[in-house]
Structure 1
Amino acid sequence: MVQRSVGFGRGILFCRWLDAESLGHWEMAYGFLLLAAPLAVLGLPGSFGRYLTRYREDGMLWMFLRRTAAWTFGLAAVAVATLLAFRGQFAGLVFGEPNQTLMMTAVAACLAVVILMHFLEAVFAGLRLFRVVSVMYFCQSMLFAAGALSLIRFWRADALSVIVAYGAGCLATSLGVLAWSAFRAEAAPDAAPGLSHRQFWPPLMRFAVWVWVTNLLSNLFAVIDRYMIVHCGAFTADEALAQVGNYHASALVPMLLVSIANLLVGAMTPHLSHDWEAGRRGAVSDQLNLTLKLAPLVMLAAGAVVLACNPLLFGWVLEGRYAYGRAVAPWTLATCVWFGMLLVSQTYVWCAEKSRRAAWPLATGLLANIGLNLVLLPRMGLLGAVVATAVATLIAFAIQLWVNHRVGMRVSPGLFICGLSPLALAGGLTTTLPLLLAAGVGVLFTDLLVDAQEKRLLTSVARGYLARAPFNRLHRNPSVAS
């Protein structure tokens, strides 16, 4: 919670202290790092969660780490060298400005330390040392915030300060965890003889390449609209980056809903996986159905609060600097709700161990996003890009539900109604508030949205939480209070 609060406060100050064009430079640089880091190393660290513990139990941990580290950092060196050698061309690709070679050089250096940090995160996550990973994220977030705001204030108020601070935060965190590991690591050699490279690499790379494809689709899905604005809109380079900056400002609060969806996925997955392994497939389907009905309605209510606060946010907090961002904010809000629901709906195929099925909705949504942007962006500008992304995200969500149904999930009719409800956010409070009222009536007094079985399940869950509530335990055990 502290880390997310720091990130939100950092984002607010970025929007206040940077102009829209500089904010667009940072948004494009960060999107490129998000895309390039796993792409450069062929997704290899993504396989650690599955294979690292196995090699540790087999007594070959150090062999695994030596080989994967050599491969990862060798590929990273090639990627960084390529960026430096062709920095003008990459600057044109990323920023739409081939003359931004200094900024591209900073991005190349930043990519190296981002890959290092991602590698270390994957190692500790693979070893089930999740507290270490959490501390790494926290330290990097704090260092990034402190460094970026200091550099913007006292060095230069542009994206270069933010890029340098982001890389410095990753580097300091990585060096810190390496120093900690040097004192904690066991010096004993592997207990088992090493495998030949022919035995070692094929199964690892088959899994890693599929992780790479999935990550590529996910990351492209997240950034493709920004690249469409830079390269396919009827803007000059400066205007395009300013539009990206406005887009970034419009997503400042809505992205918190995506974070909530991620937390929900993290909380649900262990319980759903347990039910799945116990053979209770119907229970998994029922719980996910109920979640996918209630979560959009809860986020719709949260979205209404955000819409009511937008005049204060854009007018006072952001000093009226992002008029285009304010205009598209309702559509950005709807997009973030649908994207959060897409993340939640993917949980079913993870539980079914059919993770490849999550790639097809992303691929279809990506193609839809490109096609819609080509049509809407030249005609509607930034609003066209945001509407295209919203529709593409809804398409991906709908296809994921269809995939889940094909795998075995029961999809009730009420889910489709609840899934479409975020569309009301695009019309502002005039459409959101009446729909919220209608949804409340529908949930409480009819079975159209939530049927009788789901209401019983919801009541059972609520009673379980109330039974574990602190005030209830005190009531049942008065001696504790005395």
Structure 2
Amino acid sequence: MFWRGVLGYLPVNIVQGVVGLLTIVLFTRVLDPAQYGVYALAFSVFSLVQTGLLTWTEAAMARFLATRSEDGRIADHFATLYRLWLGAALAVPVVGGAVLAFAPLNGPLRIALAAGFAAVLVNSLVKLAQERRRAAGEVSGAAMLSMVQTAGGFALGLGFALAGLGGAAPLLGIGIVSLACVAVVLSRELKFMTGGRFDKALARTYFTYGAPVALSLILALVLASTDRLLLATFLDEATVGVYHAGYSLGSRTLDVVFIWLGMAGGPALIQALERGGQPALEDAAREQAGVIVLLTLPAAVGLALVARPLADLMVGEAMREQASHVTPWIAASGWLSGVTTYYLLQAFTLARRTSLLIVSMSAPALANVALNLVLIPRLGLDGALIATTVSYGLGAVAAWALGRRACPLPIPWAVLAKAAGASLAMAACVALLPAPGGLLELVLKASVGAAVYGALVLGLDVAGLRGKLSLILRRKAQAA
């Protein structure tokens, strides 16, 4: 199931990668730094509201679909979950109205937040449909829904930005395209509850499982968003815009790979555990962990190496120089965050001990708030970068240590060591290259770095990489 998902979700991640990069390229040019900062702040609030109020139902959909398929209670599963979702959704306009009515907001930020609150409900309904498809192994359906939402939201948001709607434009795009997706898919999703009934015992199970997941994700968002909010408090929205541009350049580039592997990996681990128990889970997890390390570690190192020429191409001139300073730091923290989120934290969801997620995420979230409060007033932008990287490192250690108590997942230490050695060799070779700037430097360093790393890991056959590549090529040939 893992490799079928890896291949099936590849188009999704190509679309997400292209859209993510175009978002940086175009929005940092169409929007000025202050408008881009408004968008960053509003998107952070949008994410916090959806995560806090609705994501627990999405998590329950993903985790328990296979279980309900085994016990024949799919209809009850859907009837219970959608009723729970409806009850939680009623809180969104209450929270949104209170924030807009009482928070001390300027005009552009108020409009952007209103757009974000409006988008939360339809975006969550689309997410429920996506999680159902992923958990059921409907790779093409989940992929198509994700691509339409991603590309459509970007295109519409860009149109709104060109029309002069400022920082609210991207969120308006997300909301309207999500509404269109809901109009297409919701009727089919609701048919799954035909003949089902709301079950209080299932509801308690889903809430007990999902609420800690949501709270842990809120802590993750606090970890990812505190720096922006405190930069706005201590400095200004223009600094937030610069920080967000560099942050996005680093994190989105890595997220493309992590999300791609996570979309395939999470359901595969659940299926392995449900059908084959702990031995099957360990085999599947060991394979996934090796692939994650082999693909993402050199990506993070390479991103740091090409931060300046990449920023020259991707970021508007007003934000370019400082964004290139931000990106290497975010490459490091983004790699730690991705490994934690898409592998280490899976231990708690697999074991259904999601309360430990809260413990695992509390330490880095609290550390991030404390470090930002101390370092931003003293060091400005650099203070936020140091706080973010240290906090994500602490989060990875906490997730690994606590995960061993819940559902021990293997750590591919040998693969990690070899991939790190190959990445260092790659960095040494790239450091010797000339730096003409712009596209020429980016292509030169990226191609040489990829060639050096690829030759080393293939030559050493790290984690049986040659066999895995042969498998992928055979499956592509069979599909053709």
Name the TM-score class by shorter chain.
Answer: 0.7 to 0.9
**1:2/1:288 CA distance change after superposition, 3 Å:** closer
Alignment correspondent of 1:353: 351
1:318 aligns with 2:316: yes
In 2, distance between residues paired with 1:340 and 1:17? 30
Alignment correspondent of 2:332: 334
**Backbone CA RMSD of aligned residues:** 4.4
Alignment correspondent of 2:242: 246
1:15 aligns with 2:24: no
Question: Percent identity, aligned pairs only?
Answer: 18
1:219 deviates by 2.7
Decide which moves more: 209-218 or 18-27: 209-218
Amino acid at match of 2:172: V
C-alpha contact 1:221 1:365 (8 A) present in aligned 2:
yes
In 2, distance between residues paired with 1:50 and 1:297? 28
In 2, distance between residues paired with 1:181 and 1:143? 21
1:263 aligns with 2:267: no
In 1, distance between residues paired with 2:184 and 2:20? 21
**1:460/1:318 CA distance change after superposition, 3 Å:** same
In 2, distance between residues paired with 1:17 and 1:304? 26
- For 1:324-473, what aligned pairs fall within 5 Å after superposition? 324-346=322-344, 349=347, 353=351, 356=354, 357-404=356-403, 408=408, 433=431, 458=462, 460-463=464-467, 465-466=469-470, 469=473
C-alpha contact 1:148 1:162 (8 A) present in aligned 2:
yes
**1:278/1:256 CA distance change after superposition, 3 Å:** same
Alignment correspondent of 1:38: 51
Per-residue CA deviation, residues 425-478 of structure 1 (Å, 9 max, x unaligned), is: xxxx899848x99xx999999xxxx9xxx998727442453477469x99xxxx
1:54 deviates by 5.2
1:369 deviates by 0.8
In 1, distance between residues paired with 2:74 and 2:304? 51
1:84 aligns with 2:97: yes
Alignment correspondent of 2:214: 212
1:117 aligns with 2:121: no
Per-residue CA deviation, residues 104-152 of structure 1 (Å, 9 max, x unaligned), is: 3333322232233334434444555443332222111222122112222
In 1, distance between residues paired with 2:64 and 2:19? 34
Alignment correspondent of 2:302: 302
Alignment correspondent of 1:480: none
C-alpha contact 1:300 1:422 (8 A) present in aligned 2:
no
In 1, distance between residues paired with 2:29 and 2:281? 49
1:28 deviates by 1.3
C-alpha contact 2:230 2:372 (8 A) present in aligned 1:
yes
Per-residue CA deviation, residues 312-362 of structure 1 (Å, 9 max, x unaligned), is: 326xx5234443323322212222222223235416626963653454332
**1:243/1:104 CA distance change after superposition, 3 Å:** same
**1:411/1:51 CA distance change after superposition, 3 Å:** closer
- For 1:123-142, what aligned pairs fall within 5 Å after superposition? 123-125=132-134, 128-142=137-151
In 2, distance between residues paired with 1:143 and 1:216? 27
Larger radius of gyration: 1
C-alpha contact 1:3 1:138 (8 A) present in aligned 2:
yes
Per-residue CA deviation, residues 159-207 of structure 1 (Å, 9 max, x unaligned), is: 122222221111111112236668xx48x952x7x46x54443223222
C-alpha contact 1:262 1:343 (8 A) present in aligned 2:
no
Mark the runs of 5 or more structure 2 residues left unpaired by the alignment: 1-13, 433-444
146, 153, 167: which one pairs with 1:144?
Answer: 153
- The alignment partner of 1:279 has SS state of helix
In 2, distance between residues paired with 1:309 and 1:386? 20
Alignment correspondent of 2:10: none
Alignment correspondent of 2:3: none
| Number of residues of Structure 1 aligned to a counterpart in Structure 2 | 442
Mark the runs of 5 or more structure 1 residues left unpaired by the alignment: 475-482
Decide which moves more: 72-81 or 342-351: 342-351
C-alpha contact 2:80 2:202 (8 A) present in aligned 1:
no
C-alpha contact 2:109 2:167 (8 A) present in aligned 1:
no
Decide which moves more: 355-364 or 385-394: 355-364
- The alignment partner of 2:279 has SS state of coil
In 2, distance between residues paired with 1:371 and 1:218? 15
- For normalisation by structure 1, the TM-score amounts to 0.75
- The alignment partner of 1:252 has SS state of helix
**1:371/1:420 CA distance change after superposition, 3 Å:** farther
Alignment correspondent of 2:232: 230
In 2, distance between residues paired with 1:3 and 1:366? 27
Amino acid at match of 1:335: S
In 2, distance between residues paired with 1:456 and 1:142? 39
**1:109/1:281 CA distance change after superposition, 3 Å:** closer
C-alpha contact 2:345 2:403 (8 A) present in aligned 1:
no
Amino acid at match of 1:205: F
Alignment correspondent of 1:29: 42
Per-residue CA deviation, residues 220-250 of structure 1 (Å, 9 max, x unaligned), is: 222222222223x2x2xxx2x2112111210
Amino acid at match of 2:90: A
**1:139/1:266 CA distance change after superposition, 3 Å:** closer
